[in-house]
Amino acid sequence: MQMNIVAQTQPSLDEDAAGRYEDPLDQDTFDDAVIVTTRRGLVRLALVASETASRFAREQVAIDPMVWMLTPRRIFGGRAAIDGCLAREECLRAVVLHGLAMEMDADPAVIDALADDDEDADDIETGDDDGQYGNVASLAECGLRGPRLWTSFLVAQNETGSVQAFDALIAVDRREAEERLRARHGARLADDMRIVEGFDPNLPLAEALISPALADMLAQVAADPASPLAEGLSVSVMQRFAT
């Protein structure tokens, strides 16, 4: 699971894919479309709008969040978010899409597969009542450990300004994590990185750079790095501030 933050461009609000939209500041008219929903549906829509705007601001994405909400997308079966996100399934897909910093659209089956993998991992029982496997030592007991979650934080200054970065990846040990981060960011920045095993969502830089949905996912991966959710995980979030 590769997650890199990429800025993309999109048309302004008056150039949406449908070529039209209802001006929210105009008076209602008799031919306005009537939408029947529940208060819960409206809360879902508000949640997705909030997640969208927060992500675009955090990642400095060059897209108007309103355009994203009004443009038909595959993730909502060809509908716009304002229509699709009233339903629970589409709302969850949008939260996962933004929480994992994926592309601006995705195949619904891909999003659902991620959610299914997470649920399957939660269903796996960790104990066995009849003691059938009681004589099998764990990896930790044998002095061996499998791949684990490693996270790193960086705050650095260069000739053009300041850089803040967060990375998360699965590696068997600190050395592998350091080598991969060095290859990703270069030796100059990698030397300033603070690399730790696991994930602490309460660190100030984590709260500043990472969405709640992504933080929750990383906490699950840290607790069970052998789960399907962790397979191939690689996250990189960076902010640059010019001086």
CATH number at residue 216: 3.10.20
Tokens standing for residue 146: 């499998």
- Indicate the residue among 100, 116, 132 that finishes a domain: 116
Q: Are residues 90 and 160 in the same domain?
A: no
* pTM score of the predicted model: 0.45
Question: Rounded CA gap, 32 and 213, in Å?
Answer: 35
In a domain? residue 133 = no
Beta-carbon count within 10 A of 148 CB: 20
DSSP secondary structure letters along 193-224: -EEEES--TTSHHHHHHS-HHHHHHHHHHHH-
The average pLDDT across 156-162 equals: 76
Same domain, 180 and 224: yes
Task: Identify whether residues 76 and 162 lie together within a single domain.
Answer: no
Distance (Å, rounded) from C-alpha 10 to C-alpha 164? 25
Predicted confidence band of residue 202 (pLDDT cuts 50, 70, 90)? confident
| Residue 214: predicted pLDDT | 87
Structurally, the chain folds into a number of domains equal to 2
pLDDT, tens only, 7-23: 333 333 444 444 457 78
Distance (Å, whole) CA 224 – CA 229: 9
Q: Are 162 and 216 members of one domain?
A: yes
Eight-state DSSP code of residue 229:
G
Separation CA 15–CA 66 (nearest Å): 11
* 225: in domain: yes
Within a domain: residue 174? Answer: yes
Rounded to 10 deg, the angle between the 88-99 and 108-123 helix axes is: 90
Q: What is the CA radius of gyration of the chain?
A: 21
Instruction: Give the separation between CA 74 and CA 103, rounded to whole angstroms.
Output: 12
- Decide if pLDDT at 70 tops 50: yes
Q: Give the pLDDT of residue 9.
A: 33
191 and 231 belong to one structural domain: yes
Q: Which domain holds residue 219?
A: 148-242
Domain-embedded: residue 8: no
Q: Are residues 61 and 111 in the same domain?
A: yes
| Measured distance CA(61)–CA(91) in Å, rounded | 21
Helices 212-223 and 88-99: crossing angle in degrees, nearest 10, is 80
Is residue 85, in this structure, part of any structural domain at all?
Answer: yes
For residue 136, being part of any structural domain is answered with no
pLDDT in tens, 107-147: 888 888 776 655 444 443 334 444 333 333 333 333 345 78
Do 158 and 231 lie in one domain? The reply is: yes
Contact 201, 219 (CB under 8 A): yes
pLDDT at 4 over 60: no
Residues 222 and 178 occupy one common structural domain: yes
Mean pLDDT of the chain: 76
